[in-house]
Amino acid sequence: MRKLAKTAFYIFLLSALTFKVTGRFLQHSSPELVSDSDHVQDEEEPSFLVLKGIDLSSEDDRCKQMYGFLPCPTSLWGHLFLIVVYEYLLFQGESHVISGGEQIFKILGPGFFGASIFRILGALPESLILLATGLVEDKEGDQESVQTALGLLAGSTILHLTLLWGTCVTVGSKADPPTPSSRPLNHGQNHFKKFSLLLAGSSLKTDTETRKSARIMLLSVIPFSVMQIPIVFTLSPLGKRIVILIALIVCVVFVLSYFFYQIFDPQIQKRELEYVKQQRIIVMDLLKHVQTESMHRFHTDDGEPDFDAIKRLFESLDINGDNNLSPAELKELVVNIKFRSIPWDVDVAVAQIMEELDANGDQMINKEEFIKGWTKLLKMKKNQAPTSTESTEDEYQQREPEQGDMLEENSKIARYPWELTKATMLLVVGVVMLGFLGEPLIKSVQNFSTSANVPSFFISFVLVPLASNARVAISAISMARRQKPRTTSLTFSEIYSGVFMNNILGFSVLLSLVYFRGLPWHFSIEVLIVLMVCGVMGLTASFKSTFPIWTSFLAYLLYPLALILVYAIID
């Protein structure tokens, strides 16, 4: 509920910028002239504040407000500011959509929702923004909007396969085990040689299912390949429309086939569900530390939970003495059990633990909730505790999915109706925000590109994907930082699956707008860049399971190279 309140505040703040004000109006008068009180204003009074230096004498040049109330800047920096505001609100909307979808997926499990709707929700932010391009009235505006939308589609895909992919390889790589022929680092070596050995001696490994996901991602470039026909052969306008229709049909067939494939072979769904649950595995890490560092503190001699000790812990954390734990007070618990040794952000950890212990969802944990939740966690950890203290990290990792299932099952039985309601509310709010702000963002990008004299393709390629993919990127990087083989494989499978849906669903929306509005197709070069990046990364990931850390730098280079290549070819 706090997320909804925060989002509502920012929407109110945005709306407040548009309030009408009244002041002295001397638009066409020189500051040196003195009014003879005979000035009559015949022009229609503007609905927004007129600042010094803005000339509104031309009705054709007058800025038109989106929806009749959104801010309407007339300068380069004003357009950039609006883009930043819209992107932040879109980030909040994307977070609501993904959070709501993940909660529903965890409740319903694999099935029709996981195979179809959940996948669509993952690509929904880009698709809704792309769909907003179809709301432009004139064909000239349509053509520019399609170019802007194509920049978003290409930017999202290339961002995933270059910057995000490379960052996950960098943070997820571990030092390779030493071999008899390997040389250890010594202080006598120069820094460059040490750095070279480090690059060659660290790598990241993925499993067979991840390579399978990469091969499926490769199929998504087939519609992009079809759209290269117009530049290979000289086609008439009718021939180009037929090619567009064929590519659109291929996209639709691929989307439906992907859904049915997951229903009859739910392995992809199970990995997706496991990835979602791994994001809540913070609680299980907490339990691990409770057992290894605090077992005697919270258990009696016969192994049962010590309620008096749990109460004393609650009282020690309740700094203000109001019999409730706030998120700030809960941080004390995180620090006390040395939770900072785990590669998770402290605020994220507190939020996840709050979600597990806060039964009524009021963002406060009372004494009863704390004792009940803490006791349940201790009992669960006791049941899952290994018989040997020499359990390896890999063994613990293999138990994580089972522990997550147990944790979710208890949560589903206890809070199913309320969790489903909250998830649905988040989903609806997110969809409304994305649908409402998609068109204003596209128009702001176009206005900014016009003011900066830069093609809108490049602006949407760089700026817009940062907002529509921020949450997914943060989640993937956080998961890769754990440096556990299973988690790493799930992370890269998620990246490849996300690229597949982004390509197929986003390109379907784009081709539909072009075909049904009768627009000419002049974007084969831009599509070719996406085809090249997806082809290179897809083929590499399809046949390799080990990626040295230096491959991340090659992925980073693909991002600016793609931009330069598009600019050079178009120019």
Question: φ, ψ for residue 324 (rounded to 5)?
Answer: -145, 145
Q: Which pLDDT band holds residue 566 (cuts at 50, 70, 90)?
A: confident
357-372 mean pLDDT:
78
357-374 mean pLDDT:
78
Is the predicted pLDDT of residue 167 greater than 90, yes or no? Answer: yes
Q: For 324-346, write each residue's pLDDT tens digit.
A: 888 777 776 666 654 445 555 56
> Structure tokens of 115?
């195979």
Q: Between 425 and 536, whose confidence is greater?
A: 536
Query: Residue with structure tokens 């660290």?
Result: 202
Is the predicted pLDDT of residue 43 greater than 70, yes or no? Answer: no
Q: Which pLDDT band holds residue 471 (cuts at 50, 70, 90)?
A: confident
- What pLDDT is recorded for position 59? 42
Mean pLDDT (the chain) is 73
Query: What is the pTM assigned to this prediction?
Result: 0.69
Question: Under DSSP, is residue 299 helix (H, G, I), strand (E, B) or coil?
Answer: strand
Query: From start to end of 150-305, where are the E strands?
Result: 174-175, 202-205
Q: Between 396 and 215, whose confidence is greater?
A: 215
Q: CA-to-CA distance for 222 and 286, rounded, in angstroms? A: 45
- What pLDDT is recorded for position 438? 78
> Structure tokens of 391?
């359990």
Is the predicted pLDDT of residue 484 greater than 80, yes or no? Answer: yes
Is the predicted pLDDT of residue 407 greater than 70, yes or no? Answer: no
Most confidently predicted of 346-350, 426-430, 487-491: 487-491
Query: Which stretch of 55-64, 223-232, 341-350, 374-383 has the lowest confidence by average pLDDT?
Result: 55-64
What is the 3-state composition of the chain as percent helix, strand, coil, each rounded to the nearest 5?
70, 5, 25
391-404 mean pLDDT:
43
Question: φ, ψ for residue 152 (rounded to 5)?
Answer: -65, -45
Q: Between 149 and 114, whose confidence is greater?
A: 149
Q: Between 376 and 161, whose confidence is greater?
A: 161
Q: Between 226 and 319, whose confidence is greater?
A: 226
Most confidently predicted of 2-11, 160-169, 324-333, 411-420: 160-169
Angle of helix 124-132 relative to helix 139-159, nearest 10 degrees, comes to: 160
75-95 mean pLDDT:
83
Query: Is the separation of the CB atoms in 115 and 273 below 8 Å?
Result: no
Is the predicted pLDDT of residue 29 greater than 90, yes or no? Answer: no
Q: For 420-443, write each residue's pLDDT tens digit.
A: 777 788 888 888 888 888 778 888
Query: Is the separation of the CB atoms in 209 and 219 below 8 Å?
Result: no
What are the structural domains, with CATH classification, of the chain?
A: 77-175+201-277+416-570 (1.20.1420.30), 282-387+396-402 (1.10.238.10)
- What pLDDT is recorded for position 394? 44
- What pLDDT is recorded for position 323? 84
Q: CA-to-CA distance for 207 and 546, rounded, in angstroms? A: 9
Q: For 168-208, write each residue's pLDDT tens digit.
A: 999 888 876 665 555 555 554 555 555 555 566 688 888 88
Q: CA-to-CA distance for 305 and 408, rounded, in angstroms? A: 22
**What residue type is 18 in one-letter code?**
T
- What pLDDT is recorded for position 296? 46
Best CA proximity match to 382, nearest among 304, 313, 314, 278: 304
- What pLDDT is recorded for position 214? 92
Angle of helix 470-480 relative to helix 165-172, nearest 10 degrees, comes to: 20
Is the predicted pLDDT of residue 398 greater than 50, yes or no? Answer: no
Query: Is the separation of the CB atoms in 531 and 537 below 8 Å?
Result: no
Q: Between 277 and 337, whose confidence is greater?
A: 277
DSSP secondary structure letters along 115-164:
IIIHHHHHTHHHHHHHHHGGG--SHHHHHHHHHHHHHHHHHHHHHIIIII
Q: Which pLDDT band holds residue 388 (cuts at 50, 70, 90)?
A: very low
26-32 mean pLDDT:
48
Full 3-state SS string of 365-434? EEHHHHHHHHHHHHHHHHHHCCCCCCCCHHHHHHHHHHHHHHHHHHHHHHHHHHHHHHHHHHHHHHHHHH
**What residue type is 116 in one-letter code?**
S
Query: Which stretch of 124-138, 203-217, 285-299 has the lowest confidence by average pLDDT?
Result: 285-299
Element (H, E) at 274: helix 267-278
Q: CB under 8 Å to 68, separation ≥6 — which residues? A: none
Query: Is the separation of the CB atoms in 350 and 334 below 8 Å?
Result: yes
